[in-house]
Structure 1
Amino acid sequence: MTAPNIPGQPHIAYQGNNLCMEGVKLSDVAAQMGTPVFAYSKASMLSALAAYQRGFEGRKVQICYAMKANSNLAVLQIFAKAGCGFDIVSAGELARVLAAGGEPSKIIFSGVGKTRAEMKQALELGIGCFNVESEAELEVLNEVALSLGKKAPVSLRVNPNVDPKTHPYISTGLKGNKFGVAHESALQTYQRAAQLLGLAVVGIDCHIGSQITEATPYLDAMDRVLDLVADIEAAGIPIHHIDFGGGLGIDYNGDTPPAADQLWKQLFAKLDSRGYGQRQFMIEPGRSLVGNAGVCLSEVVFMKPGEQKNFCIIDAAMNDLPRPAMYQAFHQILPVTPRAGEGTLVDVVGPVCESGDWIGRDRTLNVQAGDTLAVLSAGAYCMSMSSNYNTRGRAAEVLIDGTEVHVIRDRETVAQTFVGEHLVKA
């Protein structure tokens, strides 16, 4: 057959009439594991990481994987063994990093709502840095650190008011977003941080959004951050590291984000021109490392023709793949074993009782009940955002490494979905 274009995913391709990931037929994975099931390519993750590493050659950079994109322990283990640190936003994520073998000193704790208990736990473990997102958080973290007789290493997340030109739900660097300290008040906030005895100012952080497909927003944000670094240091507060966050997009549907190494070539050119090229840098990529490494395999349950729409009903749903319902996001959908002949225009939908439970609209597919579909680019913000809505157990996950298939999460049983709930005695 003539293989359709599979953008950004060199480790997923048709071999004959079988869609394969690395050296494994995805039809075999579906048959062995049942559906829905997520499959991830180890080679794809390491290839994406290598692009960043090429871009950072000769520079002082710590890559901290933004684990909210995909927090499976085996995925974290891959990045920990490759030398990555981690960007976390909760005590639960902190526990996952430790369980996967991550080093506390390479952990950055981000997020707008850290609790005192989370701060205490992170301080006791000796994490690398807190990305502080408000003046109120600064004061509370100082109190917690003093109560423990420690100094909390901090950077302030500065909101540069730069438009990342992405979906509004994943834009984080505009004045109307909940994240970060306003650029205009950042110097004053740094001066306050420097006065607090429980804090040690170590850096500055900026993250403007996710699924960014142009270099311009990064360059604009970098200019604003470097202007601020100059002002802060002129006020006598040294900045030891500069954290430029993450947010680099992937190719879902003809998107054209710059390659990580090419993007950083442009960014370092600006840094060098302004005299900051040899500073210590931190970055927090997530989606760009794992997004195109994953697929969700799902069985066609029914084909349902209608007066206005034809529907392909599959056994994966919005609880498994929430991005289309949340962001109107596009995922390419391919048959694992294509049939000959013309296809039919259908909406691919799940069994959840919501009209918003759709995976793909207006797709031309030649499939029948019992066939298996692969929803591509499902490595990021799918399983990590999945739920038990409609009392649906979460999907199984496998990691493919060459010709080996490793089960990295068992399928959740119905009984497991209500563990911890209790009937009331009459």
Structure 2
Amino acid sequence: MATALSLAPSSADPTFAELLAARPSLSMHAHDGLLFEDVPLARVAAEHGTPTWVYSAGTLRRRFRALRAALDGAGLRAGIHYAAKANDSQAVLRVLRGEGAGADIVSAGELRATMAAGIPAAETVFSGVGKTADEIRFALGHGIYQLNAESAEEIAMISAAAVALGVRAPVSLRVNPDVDARTHAKITTGKADNKFGIPFEDAAALYAHMAALPGIRPIGIATHIGSQITDGMSAFRAAYARLAELVGALREQGLPVERIDCGGGLGIPYRDEPAPTPEALAGAIKATLGHLGLPVMLEPGRWLVGPAGVLLASVVLQKQGAARRFLVLDAAMNDLIRPAMYEAWHGILPVSPVAHVAPLSPADVVGPVCESGDTFAKGRALPILSPGECVAFLDAGAYGAVMSSTYNARPLAAEVMVDGHRCAVIRPRQTHEDLLAHQRLPEWLTA
């Protein structure tokens, strides 16, 4: 397992000070404790309870602008389409739309969410390997900017839907370049044995077939090789070089290519691992695709929103086991599933300024869910924390709340956004009554 994705302890774990220094939106105040932007997280916990997701609007803006500047600085004509699957909160979508983001979606539900947040379908890319006929019709009916087709069967479905609606569907062919992104096995998408995309050796022939079908306007090619890629630019360069090769082959056949979709995948440093910069990604795109003279598209998700969120949790109790100390929190794997699913490492900071400088000792950080997998960290160096004290899980803005569940009949956590000194609830905490409200009993059980 890659170090960056391991929840296991390490002598090289970054210190609290190092975690803070690498995250400019967070700071430790001698009186107010841990601040996110200018808002004390202790105040958020006191006013809204825990567990609570907290998102930083300022961080979203800064990161989007940094990516935009890197692409512009490389002289690229590049569109940025935020991958809504990373965090589909209406407030998050609104902030990014305010910066000029389009959207990348993988379901009709996400298309509805992004449109509700002000991102039109005309600036939205519809990706995903399993679009239904109803979803295709819904997207075409709203003027979708681009459908990324992932199979010959899907292309036939798109053609039939477009003909029935009397429109020409803008279709890009998602190509699987058979490139190993060297990320976690569950989030790699560009290898030959993954379910995504068209095998590279079949792409040119299928593109030509697609161009001859009624109702389809072939507009280009797309790829996405995985998520949380931190191992330099080699995988990106290899994938984009294959796309350049394919564009050349398509042009030789006289087939139209309007743009190239470079996908997402740029990783973030959850721990202290080196992570590639937007400038490095822009340089890789320029070096491999720049000579084609085509506009490109990017679909970042985690890179934009991961560092813009924390999960705030309270200590329920400390349990001294036979050989280890357990720090039991009110947050659980149903809230943040990444450690259980991917063995992902998240920084954990005490919110109290006193705890921030207290002596440290190893602790296993766990939740109250009835699963041994409900473990956030093992042997993490943390102070003694009393019931009611708070901690913050860092870099939890991506694939956090969107992957939450109500397992063990635990209501979904509240969501809050901070912006400078301002703080507002953007999704109220679910109640136990809410959990039962939509359930129905068959009549034979109500007698």
The answer to whether TM tops 0.5 is yes
Match of 1:49 among 56, 61, 64: 64
Match of 1:9 among 4, 18, 23: 23
Of stretches 203-212 and 255-264 in structure 1, the one that deviates more from structure 2 is 255-264
Aligned to 1:362: 379
SS at 2:138's partner residue? helix
Residue 183 (structure 1) aligned with residue 200 (structure 2) = yes
In structure 1, distance between residues paired with 2:16 and 2:217: 59
Paired residues for 1:27-426 under 5 Å: 27-57=42-72, 58-213=75-230, 214-272=232-290, 275-276=291-292, 278-337=293-352, 338-339=354-355, 340-366=357-383, 367-426=385-444
In structure 1, distance between residues paired with 2:132 and 2:122: 20
Q: TM-score, normalised by structure 2?
A: 0.92
Of stretches 327-336 and 52-61 in structure 1, the one that deviates more from structure 2 is 52-61
In structure 1, distance between residues paired with 2:245 and 2:21: 37
Aligned to 2:41: 26
Letter in 2 for 1:98: M
Give deviations 1:162-195, integer Å, cap 9, x for gaps.
0101000000000110000000100111011011
Aligned partners of 1:146 and 1:198 also within 8 Å? yes
Aligned partners of 1:19 and 1:27 also within 8 Å? yes
In structure 2, distance between residues paired with 1:383 and 1:261: 29
Aligned partners of 1:7 and 1:254 also within 8 Å? no
Shift, 1:60, TM fit: 1.5
RMSD: 1.4
SS at 2:178's partner residue? coil
Aligned partners of 1:296 and 1:374 also within 8 Å? yes
- Give unpaired runs (5+ residues) of structure 2: 1-14
Aligned partners of 2:16 and 2:349 also within 8 Å? no
Give deviations 1:205-252, integer Å, cap 9, x for gaps.
010000001211001111111001110111111110001000000010
SS at 2:82's partner residue? strand
Which runs of 4 or more aligned residues in structure 1 lie more than 6 Å from their structure 2 counterparts after TM superposition? none
SS at 2:17's partner residue? coil
| Number of positions where the alignment pairs a residue of Structure 1 with one of Structure 2 | 423
Letter in 2 for 1:101: G
Aligned partners of 2:315 and 2:330 also within 8 Å? yes
In structure 1, distance between residues paired with 2:136 and 2:184: 31
- Give unpaired runs (5+ residues) of structure 1: none
Give deviations 1:314-366, integer Å, cap 9, x for gaps.
00000100100100000010100042532221111111111001112211111
SS at 2:345's partner residue? coil
Give deviations 1:56-93, integer Å, cap 9, x for gaps.
21431110000100000010111112111100000110
Shift, 1:2, TM fit: 8.0
Query: Cα 1:196–1:2, aligned 2, differ >3 Å: closer, same or farther?
Result: closer
SS at 2:217's partner residue? strand
Aligned partners of 2:81 and 2:124 also within 8 Å? yes
SS at 2:443's partner residue? coil
Letter in 1 for 2:26: I
Shift, 1:419, TM fit: 2.8
Letter in 2 for 1:9: R
Letter in 2 for 1:150: V
In structure 2, distance between residues paired with 1:22 and 1:172: 35
In structure 2, distance between residues paired with 1:47 and 1:411: 28
Aligned partners of 2:65 and 2:99 also within 8 Å? no
SS at 1:184's partner residue? helix
SS at 2:349's partner residue? strand
Aligned partners of 1:163 and 1:173 also within 8 Å? yes
SS at 2:20's partner residue? coil
Shift, 1:263, TM fit: 2.3
Letter in 1 for 2:23: Q
Shift, 1:425, TM fit: 2.2
Of stretches 261-270 and 108-117 in structure 1, the one that deviates more from structure 2 is 261-270
In structure 2, distance between residues paired with 1:22 and 1:292: 12
Shift, 1:7, TM fit: 6.0
Aligned partners of 2:236 and 2:284 also within 8 Å? no
In structure 1, distance between residues paired with 2:90 and 2:249: 41
Aligned partners of 2:54 and 2:310 also within 8 Å? yes
Give deviations 1:115-141, integer Å, cap 9, x for gaps.
011011100100100000111000011
Query: Cα 1:143–1:77, aligned 2, differ >3 Å: closer, same or farther?
Result: same
In structure 2, distance between residues paired with 1:7 and 1:362: 23
In structure 1, distance between residues paired with 2:21 and 2:330: 25
Aligned partners of 1:8 and 1:251 also within 8 Å? no
In structure 1, distance between residues paired with 2:284 and 2:92: 29
Aligned partners of 1:9 and 1:44 also within 8 Å? no
Shift, 1:43, TM fit: 1.2
Aligned partners of 1:9 and 1:293 also within 8 Å? no
In structure 2, distance between residues paired with 1:269 and 1:200: 28
Of stretches 174-183 and 343-352 in structure 1, the one that deviates more from structure 2 is 343-352
